[in-house]
Amino acid sequence: MPKSCEASVRLAIFKEWPKTHSMPKLNCNITLPFVRAYSSSSSSPVAYLDKERAVAIEAVEQASRVCQAVFKRLVNEETLTKKDKSPVTVADFSAQAVVNSILEQNFPNDPVVGEEDSKDLKGDEGKVLREKVVDLVNANVEQPMSTDGILRAIDRGQYAGGATGRHWTLDPIDGTKGFLRGEQFAVCLALIVDGKVRLGVLGCPNLPWDMSKLDGERGVLMVAVEGQGAFQRKLGGGDELPISASSVSDTKDATFCESVESGHANHGDNANIARLLGITRSSVRMDSQCKYAAVARGDAEIYLRLPVSDTYVEKIWDHGAGNIIIHESGGRVSDIHGKPLDFSCGRTLSANKGVVAANASIFDAVIAAVRDTLENKNKL
């Protein structure tokens, strides 16, 4: 990367990382090499996306901190008993405002495909929720944001997506019920250029650093750039370490990673697929794109998101970051027909049906078992 061209990365810096994590105060003026453009006529990237990578990591770090702050301040036993979802709503809006603000500062011409808009925060009906979001954001940023600024940042996520140009896609909290339970959720950010995911970052605040030590240190950030491999480091900083999908080649030795919520997975179909593959090990169940993270670093070999209805269409923000992290770790991802996920169709994966992720050695066998199971139930 040439050193002659440089661009300043402007970052809004948070005052405090939750006390369960170690987080040094960050420099708000990081200088990085300028990034060359993609050539849409080329099948391979001609840019390293250094600046985009650094900004995306920082945005996900800060959003993860906001989510942890919301959990600490607003989630309690009474919240869970009453099934009150307002804390996750506050966290969703706050995290999206933070990420979109950072993206706008550094890439003002890049649109964002996000899950949230600010309509529920406006007017008298939205006053209470709006004040919580504004208070939460400004309690954690060094440079306070105005109410209008926060609402505008949230609404930057309404881009329609598509097959040309570049845009980001964001899920500020993937795994809302996991968040409320204090279990797995993820902040998910991906960069799409000409309909293909080129960069993905997952912030997983509650994911154990070592799955063999579930009571050990938690908080993982994963990042991948097309053609550069996949890496993880601890949330809050530290050295990046390369990750790779497992090398298990016999399906009977594989482990499933599946959703906690039955609304996102058909556990019965999964069980039948496991039987066809000779799998007897207990599944690892967790919410959010943390399942992609688990497969990417070899904690599990298979993640399925089978269609729960004939009409349901997957959203791009639910799969963008996880998709590239799996690919760059040496795994494979497709729909149930073996077609690559197509991120060129707008806000949804309308050209695909379901999602199958697995390590490369057993992927074809998994696809065959999926098709056999669904064909027998007329679900293909």
- The answer to whether 331 and 360 are in contact (CB under 8 A) is yes
Q: How far apart are CA 114 and CA 99, in angstroms?
A: 10
Task: Check residue 21 and give its pLDDT.
Answer: 42
Tokens in use for 21?
A: 């994590």
Task: Taking the CA atoms of 292, 296, 297 and 303 in sequence, report the sign of the dihedral they define.
Answer: positive
The domain boundary, picked from 213, 243, 273, lies at 243
Domain membership flag for residue 170: yes
Q: How far is CA 42 from the centre of its chain?
A: 27
The domain boundary, picked from 183, 211, 243, lies at 243
Domain membership flag for residue 1: no
Q: What is the CATH number of the domain that holds 218?
A: 3.30.540.10
Task: Check residue 142 and give its pLDDT.
Answer: 75
Q: What is the residue range of 308's domain? A: 251-376
Q: Do 36 and 180 share a domain, yes or no? A: yes
Q: Do 54 and 118 share a domain, yes or no? A: yes
Q: Do 255 and 231 share a domain, yes or no? A: no
Q: Do 273 and 255 share a domain, yes or no? A: yes
Q: What is the CATH number of the domain that holds 299?
A: 3.40.190.80
Q: Do 304 and 363 share a domain, yes or no? A: yes
Q: Do 143 and 285 share a domain, yes or no? A: no
DSSP state of 297: T
Domain membership flag for residue 139: yes
Q: Do 120 and 153 share a domain, yes or no? A: yes
The domain boundary, picked from 243, 277, 302, lies at 243
Q: How far apart are CA 189 and CA 228, in angstroms?
A: 17
Q: Do 79 and 136 share a domain, yes or no? A: yes
The set of catalytic residues is: 92, 176
Task: Check residue 47 and give its pLDDT.
Answer: 54
pLDDT in tens, the chain (380 residues): 443 343 444 444 333 334 344 433 333 333 333 333 333 334 444 457 999 999 999 999 999 999 999 999 888 765 656 567 789 999 999 999 999 999 999 999 999 999 889 999 999 999 999 999 999 999 877 788 999 999 999 999 999 999 999 999 999 999 999 999 999 999 999 999 999 999 999 999 999 999 988 888 999 999 999 999 999 999 999 999 999 999 999 999 999 998 887 665 677 899 999 999 999 999 999 999 999 999 999 999 999 999 888 899 999 999 999 999 999 999 999 999 999 999 999 999 999 999 999 999 999 999 999 999 999 887 77
Task: Check residue 12 and give its pLDDT.
Answer: 41
Task: Check residue 83 and give its pLDDT.
Answer: 67
Task: Check residue 140 and give its pLDDT.
Answer: 79
Q: Do 194 and 239 share a domain, yes or no? A: yes
Task: Check residue 40 and give its pLDDT.
Answer: 39
Domain membership flag for residue 33: yes
- The answer to whether 225 and 238 are in contact (CB under 8 A) is no
Please tell me the pTM assigned to this model. Answer: 0.87
For 111-124, the DSSP string reads -EEES--SGGGSTT
Task: Check residue 26 and give its pLDDT.
Answer: 35
Q: How far apart are CA 51 and CA 127, in angstroms?
A: 37
- The answer to whether 60 and 203 are in contact (CB under 8 A) is yes
Q: How many domains does the chain have?
A: 2
Domain membership flag for residue 54: yes
Q: Do 223 and 255 share a domain, yes or no? A: no
Q: Do 284 and 175 share a domain, yes or no? A: no
User: Amino acid letter at 70?
Assistant: V
Task: Check residue 264 and give its pLDDT.
Answer: 58
Among left, alpha and beta (phi > 0; psi -120 to 50; other), residue 63 is: alpha
Q: Do 227 and 256 share a domain, yes or no? A: no
Q: How far apart are CA 367 and CA 156, in angstroms?
A: 37
Q: How far apart are CA 286 and CA 227, in angstroms?
A: 28
